[in-house]
């Protein structure tokens, strides 16, 4: 459940933005410095999490919300490795079919925002999603596509900070 406050929402996907598909470059401080938790013994990809992303996300000043198929597991496995508190989780309906060309999350996240400003970080956002949100969302929104091969970068955070500052 998302509680109402005045900060913009930041809907956060895990696979792609936080766990890149490609291994991080040598010398990058990975989450493997954090001991593996019992909740993730069979998922070696969590070692691709960058612990600095948690601090950088919190520093944006948004209300962070998991918008991922990880659902509540994001709070149990991902959040501790990033130093994040327990976050609200979007409970996506099973029975909703997306419009042709739209990401399956687009309409639902827009409804969840309820007119509030929001940022959506995902690796599957397309121009169709951008156009749909511009037409159907009452407030400002930044749909930011993250390169799934590399995950969140300094450039991504800079783009989000610029957008937030313009609000």
Q: Is residue 3 part of a domain?
A: no
| 4 falls within a domain | no
Q: Does the residue 2 lie in any domain?
A: no
Q: Which residues, 6+ apart, have CB-to-CB distance to 113 below 8 Å?
A: 9, 137, 139, 141
Could you tell me the pLDDT band of residue 36, with boundaries at 50, 70 and 90? Answer: very low
Structural domains of the chain, count: 1
The pLDDT tens digits of the residues spanning 113-137 come to 999 999 999 999 999 999 999 999 9
CA distances from 36 to 43, 111, 166 (A): 10, 36, 39
Tell me if 19 is assigned to some domain: yes
Residue 131: CATH number of its domain: 3.40.50
- Above 70 in pLDDT, residue 33? no
Flag whether 97 is in a domain: yes
Pick from 108, 117, 113: nearest CA to 163:
117
* Proportion of the chain above pLDDT 70, given as a percent: 86
pLDDT above 70: residue 10? yes
Residues paired with residue 120 on neighbouring β-strands, in sequence order: 11, 143
Q: Is the pLDDT of residue 41 over 90?
A: no
Comparison of pLDDT for 98 and 68, the residue scoring more? 68
Mean pLDDT for 34-62 is 80
The domain of 64 spans 9-166
Q: Are 54 and 84 in contact (CB under 8 A)?
A: yes
Domain presence at residue 69: yes
Q: H/E/C letters for each residue in the chain? A: CCCCCCCCEEEECCECCCECCCCCCCCCCCHHHCCCCCCCCCCHHHHHCCHHHHHHHHHCCCEEEECCCCCCHHHHHHHHHHCCCCCCECCCCCCCCCCCCCCCCHHHHHHHHCCCCEEEEECCCCHHHHHHHHHHCCCCEEEEECCCCCCCCHHHHHHHHHHHHHC
- Residue 39 clears pLDDT 50, i.e. is over it: no
- pLDDT computed for residue 92 by the predictor: 87
Give the whole-angstrom CA distance, residue 96 versus residue 114.
Answer: 18
Q: Is the whole model's pTM more than 0.75, yes or no?
A: yes
- The count of other CB atoms within 10 Å of the CB of residue 74 is 22
């Amino acid at each position: 459940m998302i509680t109402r406050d005045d900060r913009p929402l930041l809907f956060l996907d895990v696979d792609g933005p936080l766990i890149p598909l490609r291994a991080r470059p040598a010398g990058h401080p990975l989450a493997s410095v954090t001991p593996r938790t019992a909740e993730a013994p069979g998922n070696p990809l969590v070692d691709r999490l960058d612990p600095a992303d948690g601090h950088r996300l919190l520093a944006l000043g948004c209300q962070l919300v998991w918008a991922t198929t990880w659902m509540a597991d994001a709070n149990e496995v991902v959040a501790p490795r990033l130093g994040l508190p327990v976050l609200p989780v979007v409970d996506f309906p099973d029975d909703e079919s997306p419009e042709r060309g739209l990401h399956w999350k687009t309409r639902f996240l827009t409804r969840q925002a309820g007119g509030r400003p929001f940022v959506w970080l995902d690796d599957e956002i397309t121009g169709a999603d951008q156009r749909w949100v511009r037409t159907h969302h009452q407030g400002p929104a930044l749909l930011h596509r993250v390169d799934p091969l590399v995950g969140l970068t300094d450039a991504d955070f800079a783009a989000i900070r610029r957008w937030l500052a313009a609000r």
